[in-house]
A and B are shown apart, each in its own frame.
Chain A
Amino acid sequence: MQAFEYIAARTVPEAVALLDEKGEKARILAGGTDLIVQVREARRDVDWMIDIKAIPEVNVLAYDAEAGLTLGAAVPCYQIYAEADICDAYPGIIDATKIIGGTAIQGRAGVGGNLCNASPAADCIPPLIVLNATCVIAGPNGERDIPVEAFCTSPGQTALEKGEMLVALKIPAPQNNSSSFYLRFIPRNEMDIAVVGAGASVTLDDAKQTIVSARIALAAVAPTPLFAEEASALLAGRELSDEAIDAAAQAAQAIARPISDMRGTAEQRTHLVGVLTRRALNGAIQRVLDA
């Protein structure tokens, strides 16, 4: 393992200044469950690790039925799923936080770090996309917001510019008759990386018979997690039916551009996009019906 400097930043401006000064070989350290492994395996060249866990803004976990959720960039998974009202409001995020690594990893790893690691297979990103999350980014020129689906640009690469860091994620309050769902396919039942992941959110009408709106997002089938925009749009205004869901699943398959690797082949992944999209949509719908 290479030698590196560890710096604990106390404020956002301090962290931003450090990032700006040190440049490419500086990385933000939050849970460290990806970063430390990458450095140990020489997959990332890091001279400075800037620990942000002492910065108040990145530790915020605040939910309000009107304002929605503010999720600080360093909040670990276990804190999120310990909050009952967050579990009720955003079950899709909870699905993801509960399957990242094992219990010990979930004590350290967070949604913000999962996003910034920008793995195409990241479990937290599809649910963030389907829940319309916004990234709050701080940088040398102040703060800016971008939609989460624009955050990842290629494997391991993000829209963060030099000196910028993710401070928090903001997720709007859930609408009536809505819910969300995330699942992934792995050959085992835990401790694995998604062969394919699919997230869905749906809002139904008051009669719970028609889909008012829906969002579908996919993991591990393209260089970045994907928002399946056309597939999502197909569902708006449709009555609940297998046909509607099949049509959305097919549209989702059409945008998948998977590779073949040791975790799965391209054709297997494309097939699974259909299966998992159906299961994610049905899962979200069932949650609305059960509510």
Chain B
Amino acid sequence: MSEKKEYKVIGTRPIRHDGVDKVTGRALYGADFQIAGLLHGRVLRSPHAHARIVSIDTSRAEAYPGVKGIVTAQDLPDPADKVADLGEGAVNLKYLCDNILARDKVLYKGHAVAAVAATSPHIAEEACTLIDVAYEVLPPVLEVRQAMEPDAPLLHENLKTTSLGETADEPSNVASHLQYKKGAPEKGFAEADVVIEREFVTGTVHQGYIEPHNATALYNPDGHLTIWCSTQGAFTVREQVAEILQYPISKIKVVPMEIGGGFGGKISVYIKPVAALLAMKTGKPVKVLMNRTDVFEGTGPTPASYIRVKMGATKAGKVTAAEAYLAFEAGAYPGSPVGPGAMCIFAPYNIENVLIDGYDVVVNKPKTAPYRAPGATNAAFGSETILDELAERLEIDPLEIRLMNGAKEGDRRADGPIYPRIGYIETVEAAKQHPHYAAPNGKKHHGRGVASGFWFNIGLESSVTINVNVDGTINLVEGSTDIGGTRASIAMQAAEVLGIPAESVNPSVVDTNSVGYTAVTGGSRTTYATGYAAYEAAQDVKRQMIARAAKLWEVDEANVQFADGEFSCINGKEEQISFRDLCARLGETGGPVVGSGTVNPGGAGGAFATHVVDVEVDEETGKVEILRYTATQDAGKAIHPSYVEGQIQGGVVQGIGWALNEEYIYDAEGTMTNASFLDYRMPTCLDLPMIDTVIVEVPNPGHPYGVRGVGEVPIIPPPAAIANAIYDAVGIRMTELPMSPERLLKAIGTI
């Protein structure tokens, strides 16, 4: 795919299909859902970060007028029963269930303990205060290094460290230890002229979606359960609810409503099984809505981490060895993204000798959930800062050292895979050639920094059905939650195949009974994989339409050609008919045409990004102002460039927030003291410059149009790029996120 292909629809910027509904406020979100006889649910949450549940008495709440039903963990199937049958799966099932409604212990403040369904939200809230829970309060452990200490309070009495295939004898908060090794690190460091090692600490960070979690469940006497909700994947909700309630998948229908942001935070379920339990118990539809504090305290953030990075290079700038130690907070149950963090940390570079150790550690905070390139931002903060320091010590331009060591096709990543055609070098070149990098930057307290990032992207299953309309349009049915304009980017791929305008496609995101299995909108997979399914479905339509034209002209199918939206006869007859006109003749040629496409592609091309940022540091207050930002990224092929740019800008903004101010602040008892958007400080418009984007297109050989996922990688470079810019401005290496004004003042030595 070296030569530039000419496309008619791909690469253009049509108005998104869901745009009018969203800007006029007509789009229906989960909280908008109404149904006759609706009850309102409210979850009672633990006031303690770590405690044993001694007893739960719901009798006072049950007697409260308007209360229709109360559930606790006793209403969930007991996963302990499954231990013998499922082995390790049962352990996971227990964790999954216990996170929905705590059974024996609460493991974080905000952990769900019980839930009430009542005739109004106020009654449900009032009734929660009448549930008497007796706790035996235990000391919490709130930080990863403390949790790893041998005498740390244990969250799970039965959790034993799995280390490189071996399971330890004694219980521990360390759930697992993984390791990737390549070459001979000791030899590599011996060859280096300069070796730099530093420790890094990053805070707990929220995905920052605007819409809180919501779910409405309806249980029919015939056993059918329907859930309307905000989710990144209706099918994963169906799977998780089926697993937690031990209920047949065939009896669960999940209807995805519009989503007000997810960023990874709306994959795990929290209140959906609770709404279902309440609906089963009361026989009425039950709606459960979280408020913002519930979201902060009761759902998964991305983890805090402790990271040590060591890198060595020759005088010429060749990185000879790299080592990393990553300890990630999993939250209350195992499952931090330390794995992806470990795989991504040195991924942009071809380094001969690498050793990476990762630790997944439980602490008394909510179980972590995915967030945009989970684990990779934490990791890159360390590696990209050290690389900057190496470049500085060796007096090499920081982009130049990245070019010198940058990974290319055929290079092997430390965790094993060999890269197919990738576009890392191209992103660095694009940054280097951008006017931003040449612009003067010499003012006092102004600084410039660069950093790069890598994210795998994923494939997974997607299904698309296309129904052809008699007027030449198509209805495209898909199962991918549209978070960033994917109705448009999926529809455009089908339109390209059929030679019709994007506006002639009506895309719908439908429920789990109405489309084939489709995995979550996550892993930057939707435009890639569901787009691929749309391509396949459109190819199916094309084949069938060719057959119809052949039938019409009474020729062999092989004699019908389709190009630019026109069918023509290439042998004998002088026949021609447009896609649109042929659509009008489906009835006479055999009836409706329905095309389908299903995929599970393995060729999700990895994505790379390189960012350049200018900052100004107020040395008196410690405040960092972002003056200019340029992000280059390999998108493979940008289907709808505006939404690629939007994804890049959005990722950068979240990365800036992570870099400068965002963090969960806990008191000694484990209560989050900033559980609101007032004090959990995400950037606002006034905190940001226009973010320039450069889309580099190195087509992904694993997709018919060369698409690479774009959503995640842009969040990875900002914290390191900004740290490097702060160093350039004031000569201080910041090694803790966020680089808040107070931390910066301390590092400068002002306070």
**Which residues does A use to contact B, with CB under 8 Å?**
1-3, 185, 187-193, 195, 261-265, 267-268, 271-272, 275
Q: Which residues of B contact A195 (CB under 8 A)?
A: 741
Could you say which residues of chain A place their CB within 8 Å of the CB of B66? none
Instruction: Determine the chain B residues whose CB is within 8 A of the CB of A272 once the complex forms.
Output: 621
Q: Are A188 and B687 in contact (CB under 8 A)?
A: yes
Number of residue pairs A-B, CB distance < 8 angstroms: 52
The 8 Å CB contact of A271, one of B623, B686, B687, B745, is B745
B740 in contact with A187 (CB, 8 Å): yes
- Smallest beta-carbon distance B719→chain A, Å: 16
Q: In the bound complex, do residue A1 and residue B122 qualify as a contact, i.e. CB atoms below 8 Å apart? A: yes
Report if A192-B745 is in contact (Cβ < 8 Å); known contacts: A1-B122, A185-B621, A187-B661: no
Contact between chains at A190 and B740 (CB < 8 Å): no
One of B686, B741, B742 near A190 (C-beta < 8 A): B686
Pairwise interchain contact B673-A187, C-beta atoms closer than 8 A: no
Which residues from chain B contact A192 at a C-beta distance below 8 Å? 678, 681
Contact between chains at A262 and B621 (CB < 8 Å): no
A52 to nearest B CB, angstroms? 26
- A264 near B673 (CB under 8 angstroms)? no
A189 to B621, CA, bound (A): 13
Identify the B interface with A (CB < 8 A): 122, 125, 620-623, 660-661, 665, 673-674, 678-679, 681, 683-684, 686-687, 740-742, 745, 750-751
Q: How far is the CB of B751 from chain A (nearest CB, A)?
A: 5
B680 to chain A, nearest CB (A): 9
B678 touches A187 (CB 8 A): no
Q: Which of B620, B674, B678, B687 has the most CB of A within 10 A?
A: B620
Extra A-B contacts (6), CB below 8 Å, given A1-B122, A187-B740, A191-B684 = A187-B660, A188-B687, A189-B684, A192-B678, A271-B751, A272-B621
Q: In the complex, what residues of A have CB within 8 A of residue B674's CB?
A: 262
Contacts of B661 in A (CB 8 A): 187-188
Contacts of B686 in A (CB 8 A): 188-190
| B122 near A3: Cβ-Cβ < 8 Å | yes
Q: Are A265 and B687 in contact (CB under 8 A)?
A: no
Given contacts A191-B678, A262-B665, contact A268 B741 (CB under 8 A): yes
Q: Which 8 A-B pairs have the closest CB atoms?
A: A189-B686, A262-B673, A262-B665, A262-B674, A268-B742, A275-B620, A190-B686, A271-B751
Bound CA span A275–B686, Å: 22
CB distance from A242 to the nearest CB of B (A): 14
Q: Is the CB of B678 within 8 A of A262?
A: no
How far, in Å, is B8 (CB) from chain A's closest CB? 43
Q: Smallest distance from the beta carbon of A22 to chain B beta carbons, Å?
A: 22
Q: Are B745 and A268 in contact (CB-based, < 8 A)? A: yes
Q: What are 5 sample pairs from A and B whose C-beta atoms fall under 8 A apart?
A: A185-B741, A191-B678, A192-B678, A265-B742, A275-B621
Which of chain B's residues have a CB closer than 8 A to the CB of A187? 623, 660-661, 681, 740-741
CB distance from A273 to the nearest CB of B (A): 12
The closest CB in chain B to the CB of A268 belongs to B742
* Docked complex Cα distance between A190 and B661 (Å): 13
Most buried by A among B621, B678, B683: B621
Q: Who on chain B is nearest to A196 by CB?
A: B621
Q: Is the CB of A262 within 8 A of B684?
A: no
- Measured CB to CB, the closest approach of chain B to A120, in angstroms, equals 15
Bound form: Cα–Cα A214–B384 in Å: 50
B617 to chain A, nearest CB (A): 13
Q: Which of the residues A2, A188, A264, A275 comes within 8 Å of B684, measured between beta carbons? A: A188
The residues of B that contact A193 with a CB separation of less than 8 Å are 678-679
Chain B residues in 8 Å Cβ range of A189: 684, 686-687
For B665, what are the chain A residues with a Cβ–Cβ distance below 8 Å? Answer: 262
Q: Tell me how far the C-beta of B558 lies from the nearest C-beta in chain A, rounded to whole angstroms.
A: 65
The residue on B at minimum CB distance from A40 is B291
